[in-house]
Structure 1
Amino acid sequence: MAVQDAAGKSASAIGWRTPMVIIVCGCIISLLAFGPRSALGFFLTPMSQANGWGRDVFALALAIQNLLWGVGQPFAGGIADRYGTVRVLAGGAIAYALGLALMAQSTTPGMLDLTAGVLIGFGLSGCSFTIVIGAFGKLLPDEWRSLGFGCGTAAGSFGQFLYSPLGVALMDKFGWQSALLIFAGATLLILPLSLALATGRGGASASVAPAAKQSLRQALGEAFGHRSYVLLVLGFFTCGFQLAFITVHLPAYLIDRGLSVEVGGWTLAVIGLFNIVGSMSAGVLSGRMPKRYLLSLIYLGRALSTAVFILLPASPAATLVFGAVTGLLWLSTVPPTSALVAVMFGTRWLAMLFGFAFFSHQVGGFLGVWLGGIAFEHTGSYNAVWWLSVLFGVLSALINLPIIEKPVDRAAMAPA
């Protein structure tokens, strides 16, 4: 009863921020944050040519970005859980915009690592959809939560759909440096939008035993001592490996196989478009079927579609079909993964615990981007990394099957 009363008071305190307003503003933030970084792969060729770099230089910078995004995510989530969401979103947006603007002026590998790697990486950890999902978990009523998770993820996908062709068009018309500056300006719109996602300290969920006094240390010990959470975190590694490799290296891979840069742009756009359907569907299905089975099917589907794509002759039609299938399975892992964290542990430390899962995701992203660049420079081909992606997909499909979907037992938990 106490938990329900607290939830009712929290809902009444939201005022003008109705569930729909919260979801819409959170979705726009996800779009603005996910869009630019999903289009950075198109800057690989012009920046490398302008500065005389090999592909490994650009790949290392974006690998650093993925890794630091993951490293910063649990800390950003913990700060948001403890002190509120607004300051985290605002700080992340400023760092992100600064990184994009200074990336346009980068003329050395070290400067590129600092801007595209460090600044954008830590910026994303503060303003990406993971923080939005944590805010949704605290602000939205239970009946809106699964829909919110799906919408927030889908909005990031629409950002990819919008920014991929937009990035190509801006580079054609104004040049790659001006395109980065325009991206930076748009990112600052996150600052006013973040006010709709303001949260107070903590949060509770009626689906698990109350944990209002649970400390950060207790939350971490509980999570990493829970076998199902560890399996979930390990499986999420594959998602990052596959997504980051495709986002950064697919445009160059298609050019190597004789296709135009426009095909790469539209393929990433198709991935983003179909990911809207996939993410929304995953959000709905997460409430209607076992989430572990849904995750296993997604990872297995990715492995099969990747294997078919690299075995077929290169053509615009085959590439666009691959983009559509990949899009359906792209970020559809996020709603069931975040929902499983909420089911197991509630929403008190949701942003932080999902942040640790996302750290695993970004370690995979670092390796996917970096190994892609290394493999190409040493062999002149991406084939080894493509097949590694297939293997990881099969392994993650198996890893998620033993997950137990129920709230953790806190009956014996000592006071904080």
Structure 2
Amino acid sequence: MKRVPVVIFCAAAIVTLAMGVRQAFGLFLPDMSTDLGIGRSSFGLALALQNLLFGLVQPFVGALGDRHGAGRVVAGGTLLYAAGLVAASMASSALGLHLSFGLMVGMALSATTFVVVLGAVGRVVLPEKRGMAFGIVTAGGSLGQFLVVPAGQLLIGELGWRMALVALAGLIAVMLVLAIGVAGKPAAAAQRSGVPEQSMAQALREASGNRNFWLLNAGFFVCGFHVAFIATHFPAYLTDKGLGLAIGANALALVGLFNIFGSYLFGMWGDRWSKKGLLAALYALRSVVMVAFLIAPLTPASALMFAAAMGFLWLGTVPLTSGLVGQIFGMRYLSTLYGIVFLGHQVGSFFGAWLAGLMFDWTGSYDSIWVASVALGLIAALLHLPISERPVARMRMEASA
């Protein structure tokens, strides 16, 4: 049990760095699109590809984490992440941006963020404390956003966007040391915790035949759409409206700050109350917040208030959704199964980042994406209501044995 605080700390720090740098990418849009002579749809496509690759390889990376441990996976992902940022700093065209920001960083993120490290944390934390532990790790991503986004803005201003990316690559390299803290043997940990023996193929068949699993996938699609749209395009949206990039950077930082509280509290509340009920409420509240923002006059204050409110609701979905996967199907293959659910999130992220840029290039406005975001939030709220939070029959039989 002495190892538990070390695992949680290192997992949270890894997510802090990996997600913090990722959330700063939207700040590069104005300068990179101008210098490379590309439209916002091309930049948006690079981040959309990143989000898609982040999701497509996630089930396989999660399986590697379940089989070989999170430490090795995080170390490999860290090297690829740093290389991708350096390659992006040398890009001279949209193709170079798509290969670096899109392909390399997208694959690296799958190995250095929530799915892999939450699997490591879930196997060492007691079930009654798991939601809170997941919330702490998820809050790490928000702390990174709060700290790294302003630093990214400063680096761009002082060094230019190319050297700023190189500096961020150096920051990412710190995760090589942190990977040691989440290293371990998943199979042995699962046996000690009493999780029923089950092959990966059996786990996949069990989940794929369960309606709850697919409802979680569909709901997480909406989360990805919201997060990618706002993280990628909100600074540019505010700049278009005359508020300036600095307000956009401050808004993203506020999203990170308030999500520290939101992630922790939603994780803690998930240990006490219905996770599906909390998820339904969270998605519905996102729609309410967006409608209020669009109706109110746009000022620096209203932009920052919106960022704070959305920040509180930003990634509270992660401890609740991952917690539900573990609660329903068990912890042995959490990284694999949650990796599949996370794929749904990243498909949503692809469309949130790319479609927003495409619609802006077509219409000169983000209005249609705002409307779609509101509608999707309400749909996601409804999708979570029929989910059953009971463990599958296999888990119930083992518990009663």
TM-score class, shorter-chain normalisation, is over 0.9
Task: Give the distance between the partners of 1:411 and 1:75, measured in 2 at CA.
Answer: 24
Task: Give the distance between the partners of 2:199 and 2:300, measured in 1 at CA.
Answer: 53
Once the two structures are TM-superposed, the CA of residue 345 in structure 1 deviates from its matched residue by 1.0
| Mapped contact 1:241–1:361 kept (Cα < 8 A) | yes
Is 1:156 paired with 2:141?
yes
Q: For structure 1, which segment, 134-143 or 85-94, has the greater mean C-alpha deviation from structure 2 after superposition? A: 134-143
Per the alignment, residue 190 of structure 2 pairs with 204
Per the alignment, residue 349 of structure 2 pairs with 365
Task: Give the distance between the partners of 1:145 and 1:411, measured in 2 at CA.
Answer: 17
Residue type at the aligned position of 1:142: P
Residue type at the aligned position of 1:204: A
SS at match of 1:139: coil
Mark the CA change 1:143 to 1:412 in structure 2 (over 3 Å): closer, same or farther: closer
> What per-residue deviation string (whole Å, max 9, x for no partner) do you get for residues 317-374 of structure 1?
0000001100000000011101101111111100111111100000000000010011
Per the alignment, residue 6 of structure 1 pairs with none
> What per-residue deviation string (whole Å, max 9, x for no partner) do you get for residues 195-215 of structure 1?
1111214343899x8432x22
Is 1:264 paired with 2:263?
no
Per the alignment, residue 230 of structure 1 pairs with 214
| Mapped contact 1:29–1:129 kept (Cα < 8 A) | no
SS at match of 2:190: coil
Per the alignment, residue 261 of structure 2 pairs with 277
Mark the CA change 1:83 to 1:269 in structure 2 (over 3 Å): closer, same or farther: same
Residue type at the aligned position of 2:167: I
Is 1:172 paired with 2:150?
no
| Mapped contact 2:120–2:186 kept (Cα < 8 A) | no
Match of 2:81 among 90, 93, 96: 96
SS at match of 1:204: helix
Once the two structures are TM-superposed, the CA of residue 142 in structure 1 deviates from its matched residue by 2.8
Task: Give the distance between the partners of 1:206 and 1:386, measured in 2 at CA.
Answer: 48
Query: Could you tell me the TM-score, scaled by structure 1's length?
Result: 0.93
Is 1:351 paired with 2:335?
yes
Per the alignment, residue 300 of structure 1 pairs with 284
Per the alignment, residue 390 of structure 1 pairs with 374
Match of 1:139 among 124, 127, 145: 124
> What per-residue deviation string (whole Å, max 9, x for no partner) do you get for residues 172-197 of structure 1?
11111111111101111111111111
Task: Give the distance between the partners of 1:143 and 1:337, measured in 2 at CA.
Answer: 16
Mark the CA change 1:353 to 1:316 in structure 2 (over 3 Å): closer, same or farther: same
Task: Give the distance between the partners of 1:100 and 1:278, measured in 2 at CA.
Answer: 29
Task: Give the distance between the partners of 2:228 and 2:213, measured in 1 at CA.
Answer: 23
Mark the CA change 1:385 to 1:411 in structure 2 (over 3 Å): closer, same or farther: closer
| Mapped contact 2:123–2:186 kept (Cα < 8 A) | no
Per the alignment, residue 62 of structure 2 pairs with 77
Unmatched segments (≥5 aa) in structure 1: 1-10, 12-16
Match of 2:92 among 88, 104, 107: 107
Task: Give the distance between the partners of 1:243 and 1:411, measured in 2 at CA.
Answer: 33
Unmatched segments (≥5 aa) in structure 2: none
Q: For structure 1, which segment, 192-201 or 100-109, has the greater mean C-alpha deviation from structure 2 after superposition? A: 192-201
Task: Give the distance between the partners of 1:340 and 1:64, measured in 2 at CA.
Answer: 28
Per the alignment, residue 318 of structure 2 pairs with 334
Task: Give the distance between the partners of 1:21 and 1:412, measured in 2 at CA.
Answer: 31
Residue type at the aligned position of 1:179: A
Task: Give the distance between the partners of 2:50 and 2:300, measured in 1 at CA.
Answer: 30
Judging by fraction of residues, say which structure has more helix: 2
| Mapped contact 1:33–1:129 kept (Cα < 8 A) | no
Match of 1:193 among 178, 182, 188: 178
Task: Give the distance between the partners of 1:115 and 1:322, measured in 2 at CA.
Answer: 32
Once the two structures are TM-superposed, the CA of residue 41 in structure 1 deviates from its matched residue by 0.4
Once the two structures are TM-superposed, the CA of residue 260 in structure 1 deviates from its matched residue by 1.1
Task: Give the distance between the partners of 1:217 and 1:118, measured in 2 at CA.
Answer: 28
Query: Could you tell me the TM-score, scaled by structure 2's length?
Result: 0.96
Is 1:44 paired with 2:29?
yes
> What per-residue deviation string (whole Å, max 9, x for no partner) do you get for residues 32-54 of structure 1?
11011100001011011111111
Residue type at the aligned position of 1:74: P
| Mapped contact 2:62–2:339 kept (Cα < 8 A) | yes
Percent of aligned pairs with the same residue? 45
Is 1:288 paired with 2:272?
yes
Residue type at the aligned position of 2:158: K
Q: For structure 1, which segment, 229-238 or 403-412, has the greater mean C-alpha deviation from structure 2 after superposition? A: 403-412
Task: Give the distance between the partners of 1:399 and 1:335, measured in 2 at CA.
Answer: 18
| Mapped contact 2:196–2:395 kept (Cα < 8 A) | no
CA RMSD of aligned residues (A): 1.6
SS at match of 2:11: helix
